[in-house]
Structures are given as C-alpha cells and as structure tokens.
Structure 1
Amino acid sequence: MITTHSIYFGNARNMKELASESVNLVVTSPPYPMIEMWDAQFGASSSGIRRALEAGDGKSAYELMHRALDKVWQETDRVLAPSGIVCINIGDATRKVGEAFRLYPNHVRITSFFVKAGYDVLPMIIWRKTSNKPNKFMGSGMLPPNAYVTLEHEYVLIFRKGGNRQFGEGTAARRQSAYFREERNAWFSDVWSGLKGVPQQLKGNSRNRSAAYPFELPYRLIQMYSVQGDTVLDPFAGTGTTLLAAMASARNSAGYELDRTLEPIIDERVAGVKKLTETVVAERLEKHRQLTGIARDGGSAAYLSKQYSFSVTTSQETDIRLTLADSVEKRAVGQYRVKHSFKG
C-alpha cells in the first residue's frame, strides 16, 4: 500500500489544492482564542482584534478571533465528504483583559458553529491535563469568594457531517482497520488521562509552544474514525503531528501551515516515521498479547487473529492488520510518499 501526504504552506481559509468532499476525517488543534501566545497570529489577521485587546474589550476580541477560525471551518466543510468526521482539540481560556477576569469558552463557540452548519454533535472527549504547580490556584487563594477554579483539561470536540458512513466495497479495509477490544474500551471513554502535551521549544522560531498535543492523541482519533486508505486533514498542521499519525496508520493526509520555517522540522520528523511505526505497532501488539494471555486463563478469548495467530475477544478483531512504514520519499516541498506493509 502507498499513501501520499502533503503540507501546504499557506492559509487554510482557501484550501484550493483539495477537491470538494475529498477528505474523510479532520483532526486538528487550532490556535486557542484568548490565549496570549496566539494574540500576534490572530492580530495579524484582523486589526479589529488588535484594537479590541488594546481597548480591554475581551468579549469583542474573543468573538473576532472565532470569526477568523470560522473561515477555516467553512472551508473544512467544503472539502469534507458526507458522513465525514471532524475532531478538534481545543482548550478554554481564562484571562484578565482590562479590569475583568473571566473564562472564554472556546469549546462552546466552536460547537455553535458546527451546530449551525448542520453537523451532528457526537460525545466529546475530556483530555485531562493535571497541573502539579504549587501555585495553581488563582484569585484570592484560601479566602472566599474570589478564587477561581483552575483549568486542568482540554476538549476533543467531535462532529459528523450527516449520517453514518456506509461501506460497500470498502468493507475489507474497514475490518483490517479494526482496533482491539481493550483499545476500544480505553479510547471510547469520555475522559482521557496520561497523555501529556509535548514541549516544542523551536529554536529561531517565533512560535515557541509549550504543550502541543502528543502523537498518541491524533493517532487514536485516526484509528477510531477512519479506515486505511482514507484521507485525513489538519488545517493547522504545525510541526506535522497529525501527518505523522496518518503515516503510521496507512492513511493519506493533507495539512496547511502558515509558518514556512517549520518545513525542516517536519522533514526531520517524517524521516523518522519508519522507526516510529515499528515502535507503535510493537507496543500495540505486545499490550494485546499480555492481555489475551490473561484472557485465555479466564477462558474469555474465543477467536483467533488471522494475521497474528493470537487470541482476540470478538469476531470483529479477527481481520486486524497493523501497518508498518517501509520507506518514506520526499517528492517536493511538503510532499511525501510512504510505502506500507502489514506487520506479520
């Protein structure tokens, strides 16, 4: 199997390189409105945002930032196929603008856009990100009533464009793309913990981010909401984490990124995808072997994997075939081709 992957260095408000209804799944984490580290990027897109922040008008700045994101969501809707899924990792913001400290509920505003666009809202995931800082409490400390709850989670919002996806000739790919039962139990829980943001102190780069989402997050979502051979889109590609997760999953991918200086960082990460897939697949198989060993002792593993000859719990798991990246070829700026094989 061969998959193709593209990073376009431009604004995702106009994804002219992508045909309408050509994407099966969107997995992304946009800039978070009202988080100060993103003020400059939002301000560059709108003088109104800069003026609102300077005037201490947080409510107007918040709405204008989301209107900038709306333009990307509108283009995302154009390229997403019917029954496609959108997964957006977003955090709310707490901030004092002018004299007022308040919460800016980013997850509510984004959900409102997709509801108005006619999407089905699916149950969201709470990504639990515990802070161990001793000074994490804000406001008046131990004195009521002016202290504030600390945000220790982010959201993965999930939307579907229309009804359930129907499979005809693609049924074989769907069965090969199945996940193990214990993975389903963990991944389809509405609270995820143990996934830590990845530091990204990018030398010489103006966008030093401290907690980009980890590889495991888009990797899980890609397994959950797409099949091998599908196309995954990230309109805010950053250093290419969603791209890597798609490569490791035998899905095609496309991404958009404003910052051209990230190209060598993406290239470096892509160059390591062969080793990455070997590690990911080995870990998934080993975890399953350990669990099915326990299951056999309990007598509950009733089926046999066709590819791996070990026990699985359900008939839906018998055709699972995990893929390795055998080779990666850079064909042009931001353009890659990956050759895959099935792990035996």
Structure 2
Amino acid sequence: MTADEVADGEVALIVTSPPYYNAPFDYPGLFSSYEEYLDLIRAFASQSRRVLGKGRICAVVTDDMLVREGNGGRGKKYPIVADTTRAFIEEGFLYRDKITWVKPAGYTRISRRSGVVLQHPYPMYFYPDNIQESILLFQNGEFDYEQLKNLSHDALESSKIDTLRLNSENWTLSVWNITNVLPMAGRVEEGVAAFPDEIPSRLIKLFTFVGETVFDPFLGSGTTLKVARELGRKGIGYEIDLELKDVIRKKLGLDYHRWTGEDYLLEEKAGARNLRKTLQTKVRQQKSVAS
C-alpha cells in the first residue's frame, strides 16, 4: 500500500479487503511466505493510522484462509483475523468491533472440505464449509463528538441514518446476512472476489457524513468508490493489478476514452502490473508439470 498522495487525516473512513493470502481464487502464490503477507498488513495499518482523521474508522473485510501447500497437501489454516487485529492494535488503533458477514448457506453446495465427513461418517472427519467473513472495525483513537456542533443542519440531516431500515434489516446486530457477489461469467466482477455493494453502503452510512472522503487502498473491482459516489461522498482508491482497470472503469461508468471528468480522475501509475490471471496461470502450469 502506497498512499503518499493522501494527506494526513484526510480520510473519514477506510473500507477495504486486502488480498486473501495466496488464495487460489484470488492471488495464488503472490506472497513468498505468510510473514511477507503480514508485512503488507502491518504497512497497511501504519498508512491507515496516518491518513485517517482522529477517531475515524478503518473497516477491513477479511477472514482466515485455508491454503493448500504442495501437491496432495491437506492445507493449512492461517489466522488472518487474529494477526490483522494484532497488527492494528500494535499500530495504536482501538479495536472497536467485529461484524460477521454471513453468506447464503446454499451457495457452496457440497465442497471437497465438507464432503469428507459424508464419505467417512465417523468422528474426526469433520471440516466445515466457510460461509462467513469478518468485518473488523478499528478506530483511530477517540472521536470528538463536540465537533459535530460545527456541522450545518443540512449536513447533519442529509447524513441521518434511516432507523427503520436499521432495525428491519438488523444492522444493529453483530451478524449481517448479506448475499455475496458470485464471480460468474458475464458479470462485471467476473473472476474477481468482490464484496457486495451493501457492505460499503452500510459502513459509509454508519461512519461518515455527506461530503467526507472514503478510501479503499485495495480497490479491486471498484465497489467502494462506486458506492461512495452514489452516497454523496468523495472517494480515493488504489489498485495494483492492471487486469482490473477495465473492471473498475465499467463499474464506475467511465467512458473508455476519457479518464478524467468533473467528479473523478483515473490514473495509471508506476508499479501497476498484471497479477491475477498471470498468477493463476502460473499455478496451473506448475501443477500440470508436477503431476
């Protein structure tokens, strides 16, 4: 994460999902070790502390990851939630809360993981399918509620939370049941592990005022910026994978030949490179050679 162009304290809210550690559906083999992955998370925490305003929130969508290492390996589960929490606390953040995002139970069907106990219906063969992710909420110190007195009546009213929807859709609970985005052919998010609009939508409404800035340093398909703009917030995003440039452009509704406009600016910077399909192809080739 390089956010040098983002000013200190400029951001009101970070909503993001860092790459899943060497996940086969995301960026397989991107990191040489788990420690290298944690270095990225620690750098992310450090930059987040700098760009966030006092008392503002960083929301990290992540989860523990099962990574199969080597051919025929059973796989190893990495405690990403715990280690991410530790990294942010050590950086000086307050651990405000954790929301569990639960996906529909039927979308996984029967996987190789849960299917083990069906093939061997005896004790010690049970491995559950994961249908949840964690939304970790870290706060950059205490928020000064006195500053809200400086906001205009219009600013407060335009940012007011719909309490009827808050209650009817159970936003107040620590478990959110939200349908996930399947990376199916023909969709803008084809082949991309994108979170649904509803996640940044809720977080932006709950933690920012109209006109404030939302930041996504691992932009992916561009969902956070799309939703931020729809809700009257400013947005800043970074994405290193050039393969996602057209996906972001389509999601934001940018004309193919025009990269600047009244309310957006899209730039390609040094360091951007092709990653997702390149890594996935490399892994498939390695498996083919090994087999």
Query: TM over 0.5, yes or no?
Result: yes
Structure 1 residue aligned with 2:16, among 28, 33, 45? 28
Matched, 1:217 2:199: yes
For residue 55 of structure 2, what is the aligned residue in structure 1? 83
Structure exhibiting the larger radius of gyration computed from Cα positions: 1
Structure 1 portions without partners, runs of 5+: 1-11, 44-48, 50-60, 273-327, 336-344
Aligned residues, how many?
249
* Cα distance, 1:140 vs structure 2: 4.1
Deviation by residue 1:250-297 (Cα, 9 ceiling, x = unmatched): 11110001123433332222228xxxxxxxxxxxxxxxxxxxxxxxxx
For residue 99 of structure 2, what is the aligned residue in structure 1? 125
- Normalized per residue, which structure has more strand? 1
1:96 & 1:260 partners in 2: Cα distance?
A: 26
Query: What secondary structure sits across from 1:199 in the alignment?
Result: coil
Query: What secondary structure sits across from 1:124 in the alignment?
Result: strand
Give the 5 Å matches for 1:113-262.
Answer: 113-132=87-106, 133-136=108-111, 137-141=114-118, 142-166=121-145, 167-170=148-151, 172=153, 173-185=155-167, 186-199=170-183, 208-209=191-192, 211-262=193-244
1:191 & 1:331 partners in 2: Cα distance?
A: 34
Structure 2 portions without partners, runs of 5+: 255-260, 269-291
Structure 2 residue aligned with 1:333, among 262, 266, 271? 266
For residue 268 of structure 1, what is the aligned residue in structure 2? 250
1:74 & 1:94 partners in 2: Cα distance?
A: 26
Deviation by residue 1:71-102 (Cα, 9 ceiling, x = unmatched): 12211221111111000111221234355544
Query: What secondary structure sits across from 1:187 in the alignment?
Result: coil
Q: Compared with structure 1, are the counterparts of its residues 201 and 104 closer, same or farther at alpha carbon in structure 2 (3 Å cutoff)?
A: farther
Q: Compared with structure 1, are the counterparts of its residues 138 and 112 closer, same or farther at alpha carbon in structure 2 (3 Å cutoff)?
A: farther
Matched, 1:95 2:67: yes
RMSD: 2.6
Give the aligned residue type for 2:252: V
Question: With structure 2 as the length reference, what TM-score do the two structures score?
Answer: 0.76
Question: With structure 1 as the length reference, what TM-score do the two structures score?
Answer: 0.65
Give the aligned residue type for 1:66: L
Give the aligned residue type for 1:194: I
Q: Compared with structure 1, are the counterparts of its residues 101 and 231 closer, same or farther at alpha carbon in structure 2 (3 Å cutoff)?
A: same
Matched, 1:110 2:84: yes
Give the aligned residue type for 1:176: S
Give the aligned residue type for 1:87: A
2:45 & 2:184 partners in 1: Cα distance?
A: 25
Percentage of identical aligned residues: 27
